[in-house]
Amino acid sequence: MKIVVQKYGGTSVGTTERIKKVADRIIKKKEAGYHVVVIVSAMGKATDELITLAKEISDSPAPREMDMLLTTGEQVSISLLSMALIAKGYSAVSFTGYQLSIQTTSLHQKARIKDIETSKVMQALEENKVVVVAGFQGVSDDNDITTLGRGGSDTSAVALAAKLGAECEIYTDVDGIYTMDPRKLRNARKLDVISYEEMMEMASLGAGVMHYRAVELANKYKLPLYVASTFEDKKGTMIEYGGQKEMEETLVTGMASSLDDMQITILNLPAASTTLYKLFGEFAEEEINVDMISQMITDGGNMHVSFTIPKDDLKTAEKILNRWREETPGIQWETNTEIAKISVVGLGMRTHAGVAAKLFEVLAENKIEIKMVTTSEIKISCVIDKAFEIQAINLIGNTFGLGSELE
Ligand code: ADP
Ligand code: ASP
Ligand code: MG
């Protein structure tokens, strides 16, 4: 049985008209001989609106209750899409994550998929139904409803496709993966293919087009992902093993920018060898992703540490830092939320030197101060002042040939 998992994002199901159009696309695939499983996100900005409601009640809403609230968004879109398919004369059935036993870890708002029970899906497919599944949600061992983190429906789709041995197609409001978010670099180029490794880097560095863990999972199962537009029949992008064929010549495949991070600087920490692992151990325990770290020993034998974390984790970070201040009087800390993290990514960097130098040069020539830097084999990230974000993106895009000529 040929099965395809198709995922439609929030904008794609943003109105009832669009939901009907999505139903037509699904029907086309079904008529082409596929059994179709569909993962959908909440309609339009529904998740953001639910978060706003919660924030009107509490500054820090209970995570369990947040998940209970946010998962309702997807319950609306799956039922409407099933209705649309049924209204067009096709059999369809919708399921929440709970109903399908999409088993996850119990960390609310950041849960990870452990397993999916596919018997219900298989049975419905055998009955010739289109199966419509709520993305972004699952259920923990304690029977609590969980969510996978913002943008997590991509991960639901990949997990289900991997489990079913199905093909996986991600439909969204852009017609493929570009060298850079086309909203930020106007002349960004669409890529025909991109490797898992590069896409993972781009996703984790701010290319919101794919949820990082979805690409990670696809890589693990060597499941090719096809990313294309819901609204146009243009050829999209394959995310697959190996990436671009001319990869030897391409130094930088793409770039990403994130405004989601903030910088924390802690002054006057004791310069003991245990300080860093204790400090970052506490961040890790809270599942806070510490990204860039720089450290400096002062003349007085103390240590200053600067690092970046997601802005969303500030409240939890403050709890950790306040605890440290109580235990280690004399330390001070400051935060900076007005930063942008800009990164360039490319497998070609493995074999070519000089990318960092070129990047620093173009920023220096334009008097854009670099506050922090990190590199890996295939990426370089710089933190700069948020005010220079778009200017820097255009300068870097030009330097590494990431744009096409504008008409
Ligand atoms: P969906 O709701 O379908 O999951 P998202 O908003 O999560 O859609 O992702 C699509 C958006 O990702 C695009 O509108 C685009 O602005 C943004 N984006 C960021 N980086 C890229 C990139 N490199 N290529 C294409 N789109 C990107
Ligand atoms: N609806 C969720 C969100 O807005 C999940 C998703 O769209 O993938 O983050
Ligand atoms: Mg998304």
pLDDT at position 248 is 52
pLDDT at position 38 is 98
Residue nearest to atom 9 of ligand 2 (CA): 150
Strand partners, 103: 115, 139
3-state secondary structure 150-212: CCCHHHHHHHHHHHHCCEEEEEECCCCCECCCCCCCCCECECCEEEHHHHHHHHHCCCCCCCH
Q: Is the CB of 41 under 6 A from ligand 1?
A: yes
The residues whose Cβ lies within 5 A of ligand 3, an ion, are 9, 151
Given a contact cutoff of 8 angstroms between Cβ atoms, the answer to whether 153 and 40 are in contact is yes
pLDDT at position 272 is 85
CA 14–ligand 3 middle distance (angstroms): 13
With 0-12 CB in 10 A as exposed, 13-18 as middle and 19+ as buried, what is 364? exposed
Strand partners, 266: 305, 333
pLDDT at position 406 is 54
pTM listed for this prediction: 0.92
d(CA 59, CA 57): 7
Ligand 2 pocket by C-beta < 6 Å: which residues? Answer: 9-10, 41-42, 47, 73, 135-136, 150-153
What tens-digit pLDDT sequence spans the chain (407 residues)?
799 999 999 999 999 999 999 999 999 999 999 999 999 999 999 999 999 999 999 998 999 999 999 999 999 999 999 999 999 999 999 999 999 999 999 999 999 999 999 999 999 999 999 999 999 999 999 999 999 999 999 999 999 999 999 999 999 999 999 999 999 999 999 999 999 999 999 999 999 999 999 999 999 999 999 999 999 999 999 999 987 766 456 789 999 999 999 999 999 998 888 999 999 999 999 989 998 999 889 888 899 999 999 999 999 999 999 999 998 888 999 999 999 999 999 998 988 889 999 999 999 999 999 999 999 999 999 999 999 999 999 999 999 999 986 54
Give the tokens for residue 331: 């330390």
User: Where do the domains of the chain lie?
Assistant: 3-173
Q: Is the CB of 146 under 6 A from ligand 1?
A: no
Given a contact cutoff of 8 angstroms between Cβ atoms, the answer to whether 12 and 171 are in contact is yes
Q: What is the CATH number of domain 3-173?
A: 3.40.1160.10
3-state secondary structure 317-375: HHHHHHHHHHHCCCCEEEEECCEEEEEEECHHHHCCCCHHHHHHHHHHHCCCCCCEEEE
Phi, psi angle pair for 110, to nearest 5°: -140, 30
pLDDT at position 251 is 86
